[in-house]
A and B are shown apart, each in its own frame.
Chain A
Amino acid sequence: MAEPIAFWTLAVLLVGSALAVVLSKNLFHSVLWLALALTGTAGVFLLLDAEFLAAVQLLLYAGGIVTIVVFAIVVTQRLVGERLSHTSRRIAGGAVVSAAIAALVINAIARQPLATTRPPMTGDLTRTIGESVLTRFVLPFELLAVLMLAAMLGAVYFARPED
């Protein structure tokens, strides 16, 4: 059985890199760990037979978001000195709150009778996604294009030269 091995490897990778994102003392290291966590998520998508989503994840998240975050760090922090280090506050309270919420969710999941086996794959998933996006979900798809345009215009407006 290859799936449990792959799942546990990815789970350890994902949880470890996510912890490194929130605990690392260096902002740049945090971003690099985030890239690893997002790549691990792409692996989880592959494990769930969603090849197209894994590719989108790598392109948009691990490629796009990490690049703009690094760009934002370069613009807003001095590259040398201790400005780059970032610290945490209220660690105990944050740990209690987030652990409590995670425990609540896990408890709710554990109580539910959920599917243990997945149904067999029917047809090409990428093809199904592409067809649905251009037929049944064409209106949300077009709205998404408007949202992207608005976000692009907003980002350019915010980053305009000072007048």
Chain B
Amino acid sequence: MSLQAYLILAAIVFGIGLFGVITRRNTIGILLGIELMLNAVNINLVAFARFGGSEIGMIFTVFAICITVAEAAMGLAIVILLFRTRRTVMADHLDLLKG
């Protein structure tokens, strides 16, 4: 398969993840959409690294995966904290900063 096929697959998965981020009411559902988007970016990085003949993109992917894990841990900790203080994790109800 050509590089284009991998990039288009990643773009489709990115679009689906974006849809999830926009439409989900539950904060955890939004985080799942973000995971999908980051995952699509990783596919892009690996595909470019393999077709470009350089391993640097793969090293970047290792860093990206680690940062994503840190992001997920922090995001879910924030969700748990939100639930503890507001008793809800629905994004529609988290509007304290709304003027």
* A associates with B: yes
B16, B63, B66: the one within 8 Å of A18 (CB): B16
- Knowing A48-B47, A86-B29, A162-B84, the reply to whether A114 touches B7 (Cβ < 8 A) is yes
Which residues from chain B contact A151 at a C-beta distance below 8 Å? 70-71, 73-74
Tell me how far the C-beta of A156 lies from the nearest C-beta in chain B, rounded to whole angstroms.
8
Is A50 an interface residue, CB under 8 A from the partner?
Answer: yes
Query: CA A21 – CA B69 in complex, angstroms?
Result: 19
Is A80 an interface residue, CB under 8 A from the partner?
Answer: no
Which residues from chain A contact B69 at a C-beta distance below 8 Å? 60-61, 64-65
- Knowing A48-B6, A115-B3, A147-B67, the reply to whether A21 touches B36 (Cβ < 8 A) is yes
Interface range, A side? 35 or more
Interface bits B3-44 vs A (CB < 8 Å: 1, else 0):
111111101111111111011111011011101100100110
Which residues from chain A contact B25 at a C-beta distance below 8 Å? 86-89
Are A21 and B46 interface neighbours, CB within 8 A?
A: no
Which residues from chain B contact A45 at a C-beta distance below 8 Å? 43, 46
Are B39 and A37 interface neighbours, CB within 8 A?
A: yes
- Knowing A34-B36, A69-B28, A158-B80, the reply to whether A129 touches B19 (Cβ < 8 A) is no
Interface bits A36-74 vs B (CB < 8 Å: 1, else 0):
011001001101111011001100110011001101110
Query: CA A41 – CA B46 in complex, angstroms?
Result: 11
Are B62 and A56 interface neighbours, CB within 8 A?
A: yes
Is B56 an interface residue, CB under 8 A from the partner?
Answer: yes
Query: CA A49 – CA B83 in complex, angstroms?
Result: 42
Smallest CB-CB A-B distances: 7 pairs: A102-B15, A22-B20, A94-B22, A151-B70, A158-B77, A88-B23, A86-B26
Q: B residues engaging A (CB < 8 A)?
A: 1-9, 11-20, 22-26, 28-29, 31-33, 35-36, 39, 42-43, 46-47, 49-53, 55-56, 58-59, 61-63, 65-74, 76-81, 83-84, 89, 92
Q: List 8 A-B contacts (CB under 8 A).
A: A22-B16, A22-B23, A44-B6, A97-B19, A102-B18, A114-B7, A119-B53, A158-B78
Please give 8 more A-B residue pairs, beta carbons under 8 A apart, in addition to A15-B13, A48-B50, A99-B15: A7-B1, A56-B65, A60-B69, A90-B22, A98-B22, A110-B4, A114-B3, A151-B73
Q: A residues engaging B (CB < 8 A)?
A: 3-4, 7, 11, 14-15, 18-19, 21-22, 27, 30-31, 34, 37-38, 41, 44-45, 47-50, 52-53, 56-57, 60-61, 64-65, 68-69, 71-73, 75-77, 86-91, 93-95, 97-99, 101-102, 105-106, 109-110, 114-119, 122, 125, 128-129, 132-133, 137, 140, 144, 147-148, 150-152, 154-155, 158-159, 162
